[in-house]
Amino acid sequence: MPLRSPPILPPSFVPPYLLDRLAAHADAPVSARAANTLMIDREHRGLREFLAPQISSAPSPPYAKRGSPERKIHDAGNTTQLPGKLIRTEGQAASKDLAVDEAYDALGATWRLYHDIYERNSIDGAGMPLLGSVHYGNDYDNAFWNGTQMVFGDGDGEVFNRFTIAVDIIGHELTHGVIDHESALVYQGQSGALNESICDVFGALVKQHVLKQTAQQADWLVGAGLFMETVKARALRSMAEPGTAYDDPVLGKDPQPAHMKDIVLTRQDNGGVHINSGIPNRAFYLAATAIDGPAWETAGRIWYDTVCDRRFKQDADFAAFAELTVSAAAKRFSAGGAAHKAVIAAWNTVGVTAS
């Protein structure tokens, strides 16, 4: 009898293989927390598996400059009941809860990138309110977008810090919502890795936009600050150097490849969606840093145009996405120009296309 593939799990920031590693190799308290996180991810959040919004064939809603998002931050009270108690709404002063205020600020930073730079009216393009719940679960080691809101765990305090600590985590997870409403990429194999990579791209751009950094100034680390200081890790992923973000006795070594020759063929992690995202991540980094100025104005515009391109299919692989970005670069910045050449060179360098 053939082996059954593992079930397709919905997106989350920390990949399941890392939690599996902690459950198997960490000390007893951390192991138990990782196992509990996996149980929640696989059972409770599995309800979302087939609930992604349907793509409309109609044109995107007209852009309406609103000037402010509509944010609501809740406290789940260390339960898994959502959304929890409402703590802070749009325009209210900071609370005395650091996680609440970090979530509020980061939701706003993500909204501003999409609104001010890409003229997108919230996640769905139609003014969707931004909801968040902090203090989810008991020492829950993850963060996720469940199709309607953001959810943040507090971390275990030994390996993981609180999940509101890094603005790019929130930018990453909210971008899953953008993808849901645009291309609705299948969360499996190369299309799933593109899903994760695009979320890393816009998470990084949210951080760079907040810090007012050029592509050359940015660190290109995803989730910096998430790991506690005792862990031998710079971040969860490196877009500049996939495979170098961490190397820790308990976590193991970052498994991300940076080139197609090293792509990982696996049935775990929905076919390697968090692992193989390193390849398109590096392509974006190469394209962005080859062009002067802030990445959100250059390579970011090309990637956003591609995400919204109706030719971008739900089961697209790396090569199909690369072709669309090259087309978008030519259309946005002119064929044969610096941006167009940078995008072509980036995909060639990571082995997705042939030079």
109 with 142, same domain: the answer is yes
Which residue is it, tokens 């007893």? 28
Burial of residue 217 (CB within 10 Å: 0-12, 13-18, 19+) is: exposed
Same domain, 236 and 139: no
> Is residue 89 in a domain?
yes
d(CA 113, CA 109): 6
Assess whether 176 and 220 both reside in one domain: no
Domain co-membership, 159 together with 223: no
153 and 211, same domain (yes or no): no
| Residuewise pLDDT in 10s, the chain (355 residues) | 333 444 455 678 999 999 999 999 999 999 999 999 998 887 655 544 444 444 444 444 444 455 789 999 999 999 999 999 999 999 999 999 999 999 999 999 999 999 999 999 999 999 999 999 999 999 999 999 988 999 999 999 999 999 999 999 999 999 999 999 999 999 999 999 999 999 999 999 999 999 999 999 999 999 999 999 999 999 999 999 999 999 999 999 999 999 999 999 999 999 999 999 999 999 999 999 999 999 999 999 999 999 999 999 999 999 999 999 999 999 999 999 999 999 999 999 999 998 7
Asked if residue 332 and residue 243 are part of one domain, the reply reads yes
Tokens of residue 329, six digits: 């670069």
Say if residue 247 is in the same domain as residue 284: yes
Determine, yes or no, domain membership for 167.
yes
**Residue 344 within a domain:** yes
Pairing of strands 130-134, 150-152: parallel
pLDDT digits (tens, 9 = 90+) for 186-202: 999 999 999 999 999 99
- 19 vs 33: CA distance, rounded Å: 9
Residue among 74, 115, 135, 274 flagged as catalytic: 274
Domain that holds residue 157: 71-181
Tell whether 33 is covered by a domain. Answer: no
Domain boundary among 181, 211, 244: 181
147 within domain boundaries: yes
Contact present, 41 and 142 (Cβ < 8 Å): yes
Write the CATH number for 234: 1.10.390.10
Q: Is residue 127 part of a domain?
A: yes
Strand 71-75, strand 143-145: pairing: unpaired
Residue that terminates a domain, selected from 136, 154, 181: 181
Are 202 and 170 in the same domain?
no
State the CATH number of the domain containing residue 172. 3.10.170.10
Closest C-alpha among 332, 317, 45 to residue 183: 317
Tell me if 164 is assigned to some domain. yes
Whether residues 101 and 168 fall in one domain: yes
Residues 193 and 325 in one domain: yes
Q: Of the residues 173, 182, 196, 241, which is catalytic?
A: 173
- Whether residues 147 and 264 share a domain: the answer is no
Q: Are 125 and 59 in contact, with CB atoms under 8 Å apart?
A: no
334 & 248 share domain: yes
172 is catalytic: no
- pLDDT recorded at residue 318: 98
Active site residue 229: no
> Left if phi > 0, otherwise alpha if psi is -120 to 50, otherwise beta: which for 262?
alpha
The total of structural domains in the chain comes to: 2
Question: Is 35 part of a structural domain of the chain?
Answer: no
Q: Of 181, 206, 230, which one is at a domain's C-terminal end?
A: 181
